[in-house]
Structure 1
Amino acid sequence: MSRGAWLCGRLLQIVPTFLMIGVAAFLLARALPGNAVLAMLGDRASDATIARLSQQLGLDRSISWQLWAYLQAVAHGDFGTSFA
C-alpha cells in the first residue's frame, strides 16, 4: 500500500469520527438537567417569553431536527454562541 492510499484512507476515517463526536457532544448537552431557556432568562420570566425564546432557539422542535440543525451549523463553521 502506498503512502498516498494510506493517507487517503486515514483522512476518510476522520469524517465518521468527527460525526460521532458531534453527535455525542449534542446528546450529552441535551442530557444535562435543567432548562437552558430558564437559565438564560431567569425564574421570573413569563411563560410567553419562555415560549418565544424556545421557538427562536428551535428547542420546541424534535430532537432529530435539533441534531440536524446543529450538524449543519457545525459543517458551516458555526459552533454556536458562547455564554461564558
Structure 2
Amino acid sequence: MPYYIIERNYAEEVVTPVEAAADINLINDEEEVRWLYSFLSIDRRKSYCLYEAPSIEAIRAAAVRAGLPADVVTEVTGRVMPSGILTPVA
C-alpha cells in the first residue's frame, strides 16, 4: 500500500491529540488509512504526518471526517538515509 506525507496547517496552536487519537484511528480504520506517526513544529501550528493509504482521496476523506486539515498530501516511495542509500518507507 502507498505511503503519504500530509502537511497540516493550523490557525491555532495544536494540542497533542491524546484524547482524540482513538476517534481519529477509528475514522482512519473506516476509511482504510493508517496513521503511522506525526512531527509537530516548534510553534505547534504545523504537523507532518506519515500515513499508509490506498489513495490520496482516502486520506482526504478521513481528514474531513476527523475535522483535520490536509493542506498538502504527497505520495512517497523511499527514504534517503544519512549514508546516502535510498530505502523503502516501510
TM-score clears 0.5:
no
TM-score, reference length from structure 2: 0.24
Structure number with higher helix proportion: 1
Higher relative contact order (CA 8 A, sep 6+): 2
TM-score, reference length from structure 1: 0.25
Structure number with higher strand proportion: 2
